Amino acid sequence: MSTDQITEEAIRHLVDEFYIKVRADRELGPIFVRAIPGDWGEHFATMRDFWSSVMLTSGRYKGNPVAVHQRVEGIELQLFDRWLALFDETCGELFDETTGAAFSTKARRIAESLKLAVFYRPDRPWPKSASESASNSTSESPP
């Protein structure tokens, strides 16, 4: 899973570049700006710690992202796909394919968990995500 390119420096770069895109994005920008008013320094530091914990098992991030996302005003299911598209775009610009895929795979799994936590209701059908269908069809096709 991990590659030589996954370093604290790479994570810092990814977080910086990614949130520049998020803030400028027509769909995500307003939601994030409302959720994080004022100085983004703290958010950048939090997200660096988060990805460092997830990719380098540094244990630096300790928090409750489920609760944080449940509180976000205006959060919508399809915005997770937009987030992932921008994240993939940033990874594509910064990393080789293997490294980008390592980040992207983690991001997809975490996004799916957050989506379930924020939106899942036992009495409603759960839409199969595009990423999940794609990975299923890949695993079912012959090598």
Partner 1 sequence: MTFVVTDNCIRCKYMDCVEVCPVDCFYEGDNMLVIHPDECIDCGVCEPECPAAAILPDTQPGLENWLKLNAEYASVWPNITIKREPPADAKEFDGVEGKLESYFSPKPGQGD
Member of 59, 125, 142, 143 binding partner 1 (CB under 8 A): 59
CA atoms within 13 A on the CB side of 71: 8
Compute the least distance from the CB of residue 5 to partner 1, in Å.
Answer: 18
User: Quick check: 75 binds partner 1 (CB under 8 A)?
Assistant: no
CB 40 to partner 1: min, Å: 20
Report the residue from 9, 38, 62, 71 that binds partner 1 according to the rule CB under 8 A: 62
**Interacting positions 83-142 with partner 1 (CB under 8 A):** 106, 109-110, 112-114, 116-117
Give least dist CB 26 to partner 1, A: 27
Residue 75 identity: I
Closer to partner 1 at the Cβ: 64 or 138? 64
The token pair at 134 is 């794609």
Phi, psi of 5 (to 5 degrees): -75, -15
Considering only the C-alpha atoms of the chain, give the largest distance between any 2 of them, rounded to a whole number of Å.
51
CA distances from 115 to 26, 31, 34, 66 (A): 21, 16, 20, 9
The only residue of 18, 50, 87, 103 in contact with partner 1, by rule CB under 8 A: 50
Could you tell me which stretch among 32-40, 61-69, 75-83, 94-102 binds partner 1 (CB under 8 A)?
61-69
The secondary structure of 111-143 as a DSSP string is HHHHHHHHH--TTSPPPPPHHHHHHHHHHHS--
Q: Which of 106, 77, 111, 78 is nearest to 91 (CA)?
A: 106
Binding site for partner 1 (CB under 8 A): 50, 53-54, 57, 59, 61-66, 106, 109-110, 112-114, 116-117
